[in-house]
Structure 1
Amino acid sequence: MKNNRTFLEKLLDGAEVEWKPLIKVASLTRGRVISKEYLADNLGDYPVYSSQTVNNGEIGKINSFDFDGEFVSWTTDGANAGTVFYRSGKFSITNVCGLIKIQNNLELNYKFLFYWLSIEAKNHVYSGMGNPKLMSHQMEKILIPIPPLPVQTEIVKILDALTALTSELTSELTSELTLRRKQYEYYREKLLSFDSLEQLNMGGAKKKLIDVAIYVKVRILADKLDKENYVGVENLLQNKVGKTSSNYVPTDGAFIEYLPNDILIGNIRPYLRKIWLSDRKGGTNGDVLVIRLTDENILPRYLYHILANEHFFEYNVKYSKGAKMPRGDKAAILQYEFDVPTFEQQQRIVSILDKFETLTNSITEGLPLAIEQSQKRYEYYRELLLNFS
């Protein structure tokens, strides 16, 4: 007779899985305020972790530490609310992080808890004053499955190996993708250089952005938005590679509406070079500029390539205002000047650049798809191993 038991059922071999809220198995604490000035004045060897996801959340090293041992931490608020990390050693965390310490003598593996919360925590993120949050009072309610310790250990062993393999593959693919993007940027800059466009324009007059486009002010209600059509500055991707799904969707209020062929530009920290040409209808907030063409003699994708050009972002950074959190100057952006060759020449330029962009950035083919598929395979097996329902 065929054995239809799942791998997890075989691991459990009939053993019971006890479920408890997190507060019954662990203590939860918060980090403290650690400013940039404090980091600069107290340089040392012990890492400080905050809400960012790059570099494992590390924002610097100081000469002291607040915690020593094995823990699980999570981001409490902001765009990355609900992101979970495994921590060990001597370290500190900032006030936008929470820390979980398993009760003494409880047979619960830290890595097992980390893997479980990596799936479950995001389901409990909520909106607090318009800001995504997962505070301790919500985190502590999350139910934790507690199979026998040997089962936990085996699951962790498998997931650690899968994590290492996925990370290695993703790193290799990302390196190749970075190289392709550099090649694409080279050809974009070459085609859109002043000398090249002036020759194509044959001495024609330059255009300012204000002459051919407007900032959109029309509003769309929150009930029309979802994770795919809501765009905040946090889910616009750095370095001109579009956007990703939003981890946070507002549930009330009115937002700036965008339509297909509108150009969205992140207006906070313009040096991050966040830009996306819309292919749908949706909404965004005041931290994102929505630029709409009003001149029928200009192709939307031509204007997009002009504004995705390095020269535009250098201009934008030059005129941005503010030190700690600079913003692009909306009036100065509208004064940006560029060449507009004939419609036929625009089409030729767009055709060349689109081919490079599709090869480089499209999520439906090539390296980006391979990276996405690798991550999805990992998530599939992780959820299979942790499916205790």
Structure 2
Amino acid sequence: MSRIDELIAKHCPDGVEFRRLGECVVKNTGGGTPSRSIPSYWDGDIPWASVGDLSVPGNFILTTRASITSKGLKSSPSNIISRGDVIVAVKISPGKMKIAAKDIAINQDLRGLSLHNFINSSFLTYYFQTISIVGNGTIVKGITTDTLERIRVPIPPLEVQREIVKVLDTFTKLEAELEAELEAELEARRRQYQYYRDALLAFRDQDVQWAAMADVGEFFRGRRFTKADYVEDGVGCIHYGEIYTHYGTSTNIVISHVQPEMKPILRFAKPGDVVVTDVGETVEDVGKAVAWMGADDVAIHDHCYAFRHSMNPKFVSYCMQTASFIAEKAKYVARTKINTLLMDGFSKIRIPVPPLEEQERIVSILDKFDALANDISIGLPAEIKARRQQYEHYRDRLLIFRETA
């Protein structure tokens, strides 16, 4: 910070000039998409970027997920953005910005900006990470070119810009290396936890009863509701998609509600039931379970089953996460257009049935391991989150400038 403070005191003691982004741009270029139905337009040697390609770590786009041919380029509004120019999203993630590390064609959700020589492209990219741009639109958020060009950006002297970029590049690299180490450690912890969980629930060399799920409980199917039925405050519900995108081993709260007048036609899971999906994009998703630990009944979708039993609900949910259970479950998944659970076979999968005291003891152990591996508020996930926040705080402080009068 001292080096940068010295440069600011030397070159701009009275503050920093701010300009509209449009005044910093020599050329603002749009993009487009070649016809998807013509194979000769695709898989060529021209990298072609969409908004998803701006999500890669770092300030530069080195590769893209798709490429087009010269025919594809000529057939569409897509344009080549030159190496070193800035690529910015105007739809979906408005304001997200990266620098082209090579000549790249872009789609219609992006703009390519050639900058004047008084602003450094990396400096601008870092600055855009500190501001929030709210797009318009109910389905796809977007901003107009005029709105983009009216965004005001600081223009300190180039020597100051370069020094800030140098510091942030170094800090970003160190933060990324540390985060990679923490991510690797976290993955190792999760594998260790999964191994321990599976070993604990295998009950090897223990005299424990095993029984088919149909022998220790019953399955009740839910009733259909759609997102059009959702309301802010109504009947609490669990949609099948939420089980493999939102919920973990158990939950006592819901994230969705449907209209109260639908209550008579819905079906409900009771507290202690385990709610199971019967469809999914992958075999692992099908049959994924969450123990319902809430105080009241909860409505479930018709692609869900409530497993009603007299066991510890979290114990059952943990059992259904083990590698051995998943391997058995895979035998009863119909691999059609949508992977579907064959409930007659699924209900025959055997699970361990130790005494309730032992179930509770195992749940207590696994809850602690699960929290250490996955809870965002403790352990390594919290450390990763803290490192990101520390970096963002430092970056934002470097890019705050007093504007000239």
Distance 1:37 1:345 in 2: 62
TM-score by length of 2: 0.65
Distance 1:267 1:82 in 2: 37
Distance 1:233 1:81 in 2: 27
Question: Would the alpha carbon gap of residues 51 and 44 (structure 1) be closer, same or farther in structure 2, given more than 3 Å must change?
Answer: same
1:67 has 2:92 as partner: no
1:27 has 2:20 as partner: no
User: What secondary structure is seen at the aligned counterpart in 2 of 1:133?
Assistant: coil
1:117 has 2:128 as partner: yes
Deviation string, structure 1 residues 111-136 (Cα, Å, up to 9, x no partner): 12212222325x4144533xx42344
User: What secondary structure is seen at the aligned counterpart in 2 of 1:382?
Assistant: helix
> Which of these residues, 92, 101, 107, is aligned with residue 105 of structure 2?
92
Following superposition, the deviation at residue 372 of structure 1 comes to: 0.8
1:161 aligned residue: 170
Which segments of 5 or more consecutive residues in structure 1 lack a partner in the other structure?
Answer: 225-229, 244-248
1:186 has 2:195 as partner: yes
Distance 2:17 2:249 in 1: 44
Distance 1:208 1:36 in 2: 53
- Contact between 1:236 and 1:242, CA under 8 Å: does it hold in 2? no
Deviation string, structure 1 residues 6-55 (Cα, Å, up to 9, x no partner): 89975842233223155873615234258699599636585755516357
Higher mean Cα deviation, 55-64 or 352-361? 55-64
Which segments of 5 or more consecutive residues in structure 2 lack a partner in the other structure?
Answer: 74-79, 261-265
1:319 aligned residue: 334
Distance 1:358 1:60 in 2: 39
Following superposition, the deviation at residue 155 of structure 1 comes to: 2.2
Following superposition, the deviation at residue 346 of structure 1 comes to: 2.5
1:1-389 correspondence to structure 2 within 5 Å: 10=9, 12-22=12-22, 25=25, 27-33=28-34, 42=43, 44=45, 46=47, 48=49, 50-51=51-52, 53=55, 58-60=64-66, 66-75=80-89, 83-95=96-108, 97-103=109-115, 105=116, 107-121=118-132, 123-129=133-139, 132-137=140-145, 140=148, 143-150=151-158, 151-193=160-202, 200=208, 202-207=209-214, 211-212=218-219, 215=222, 220-222=230-232, 236=245, 269-270=281-282, 295=308, 297-310=310-323, 315=329, 318-322=333-337, 327-329=338-340, 335=346, 337-339=349-351, 341=353, 342-388=355-401
The structure with the largest alpha-carbon Rg is 2
Distance 1:81 1:351 in 2: 45
Question: Would the alpha carbon gap of residues 356 and 269 (structure 1) be closer, same or farther in structure 2, given more than 3 Å must change?
Answer: same
The one-letter code matched in structure 2 to 1:71 is: D
The one-letter code matched in structure 1 to 2:363 is: V
Distance 1:43 1:374 in 2: 40
Deviation string, structure 1 residues 278-304 (Cα, Å, up to 9, x no partner): 8999xxxx9x99968563623332233
The one-letter code matched in structure 1 to 2:179 is: T
Question: Would the alpha carbon gap of residues 18 and 241 (structure 1) be closer, same or farther in structure 2, given more than 3 Å must change?
Answer: farther
User: What secondary structure is seen at the aligned counterpart in 2 of 1:70?
Assistant: coil
- Contact between 1:206 and 1:340, CA under 8 Å: does it hold in 2? no
Distance 1:258 1:143 in 2: 51
Higher mean Cα deviation, 360-369 or 146-155? 146-155
Higher mean Cα deviation, 290-299 or 301-310? 290-299
Question: Would the alpha carbon gap of residues 269 and 385 (structure 1) be closer, same or farther in structure 2, given more than 3 Å must change?
Answer: farther
Question: Would the alpha carbon gap of residues 61 and 70 (structure 1) be closer, same or farther in structure 2, given more than 3 Å must change?
Answer: same
1:246 aligned residue: none
- Contact between 1:298 and 1:340, CA under 8 Å: does it hold in 2? no
Distance 1:94 1:208 in 2: 56
- Contact between 2:217 and 2:309, CA under 8 Å: does it hold in 1? no
Higher mean Cα deviation, 339-348 or 60-69? 60-69
The one-letter code matched in structure 2 to 1:269 is: E
Question: Would the alpha carbon gap of residues 49 and 329 (structure 1) be closer, same or farther in structure 2, given more than 3 Å must change?
Answer: same
The one-letter code matched in structure 1 to 2:373 is: T
Query: Pairwise CA RMSD of aligned residues?
Result: 5.3
The one-letter code matched in structure 2 to 1:378 is: Y
Question: Would the alpha carbon gap of residues 297 and 278 (structure 1) be closer, same or farther in structure 2, given more than 3 Å must change?
Answer: closer
Following superposition, the deviation at residue 169 of structure 1 comes to: 0.5
- Contact between 1:47 and 1:90, CA under 8 Å: does it hold in 2? no
The one-letter code matched in structure 2 to 1:366 is: G
User: What secondary structure is seen at the aligned counterpart in 2 of 1:363?
Assistant: coil
Distance 1:298 1:309 in 2: 17
User: What secondary structure is seen at the aligned counterpart in 1 of 2:211?
Assistant: coil
TM-score by length of 1: 0.67
The one-letter code matched in structure 1 to 2:120 is: N
Distance 1:140 1:328 in 2: 43
- Contact between 1:44 and 1:62, CA under 8 Å: does it hold in 2? yes
The one-letter code matched in structure 1 to 2:119 is: L
Distance 2:364 2:212 in 1: 23
Q: How many residues align?
A: 358
